Amino acid sequence: MATWDHETDSCTFGDIDVRRVVDMEDGAFPASHLFPDSNLEEISALSQRFGEKHINPETLDLYLSFHAYIVKTEKCTILVDACVGNDKDRPGRPIWTNRSGPFLENLAKQGVAPDDIDFVMCTHLHADHVGWNTKKVNGEWVPTFANAQYLFAEREYQFWQQEQAQISEPIMYGSHADSVLPIMESGQAKLIDTNHEITTGIYTEPAYGHTPGNMVLNISEGSKTHAVIFGDVMHHPIQLAHPEWSTCFCEDPQMSSETRTSLLSRYANTETFVLPAHFQSPGYGPVERDGSSFKMKDGIGEK
Ligand SMILES: [Zn+2]
Is residue 300 predicted with pLDDT exceeding 90?
no
Strand partners, 58: none
Domain membership of residue 283 (yes or no) is no
User: Nearest 5°: CA angle at 30, between 25 and 35?
Assistant: 100
DSSP string, 32-55: HHH-TT--HHHHHHHHHHH-TTTB
Domain membership of residue 78 (yes or no) is yes
CA of 51 relative to ligand 1 center, distance in Å: 22
CA of 67 relative to ligand 1 center, distance in Å: 9
CA of 85 relative to ligand 1 center, distance in Å: 13
Domain membership of residue 290 (yes or no) is no
Rounded mean pLDDT, 287-303: 89
Domain membership of residue 298 (yes or no) is no
Is residue 167 predicted with pLDDT exceeding 80?
yes
CA of 132 relative to ligand 1 center, distance in Å: 13
Confidence of residue 301 (pLDDT cuts 50, 70, 90): confident
Domain membership of residue 275 (yes or no) is no
The Cα-based distances of 212 to 106, 124, 150, 176 in angstroms read: 31, 9, 19, 16
Domain membership of residue 278 (yes or no) is no
Query: What proportion of the chain, given as a percentage, has pLDDT over 70?
Result: 100
Domain membership of residue 273 (yes or no) is no
Alpha helix positions (H), 141-218 = 154-166, 175, 181-186
Is residue 231 predicted with pLDDT exceeding 80?
yes
Containing structural domain, residue 114: 10-231
CA of 74 relative to ligand 1 center, distance in Å: 29
Q: Cβ distance 132 to 81 under 8 Å? A: no
CA distance 165 to 159: 10
In this prediction, residue 84 carries a pLDDT of 98
CA of 271 relative to ligand 1 center, distance in Å: 25
CA of 288 relative to ligand 1 center, distance in Å: 24
Confidence of residue 1 (pLDDT cuts 50, 70, 90): confident
DSSP string, 70-115: EEE-SS-EEEE---S-SS---TT-GGGTT----HHHHHHHTT--GG
pLDDT tens digits, residue range 24-41? 999 999 999 999 999 999
CATH code for the domain in which residue 152 is found: 3.60.15.10
pLDDT tens digits, residue range 41-60? 999 999 999 999 999 999 99
CA of 257 relative to ligand 1 center, distance in Å: 15
Is residue 303 predicted with pLDDT exceeding 80?
no
- Total residues belonging to the chain: 303
Q: Cβ distance 251 to 209 under 8 Å? A: yes
CA of 81 relative to ligand 1 center, distance in Å: 9
Domains identified in the chain, total number? 1
Domain membership of residue 253 (yes or no) is no
Confidence of residue 70 (pLDDT cuts 50, 70, 90): very high
The Cα-based distances of 74 to 5, 81, 150, 201, 227 in angstroms read: 21, 21, 19, 12, 17
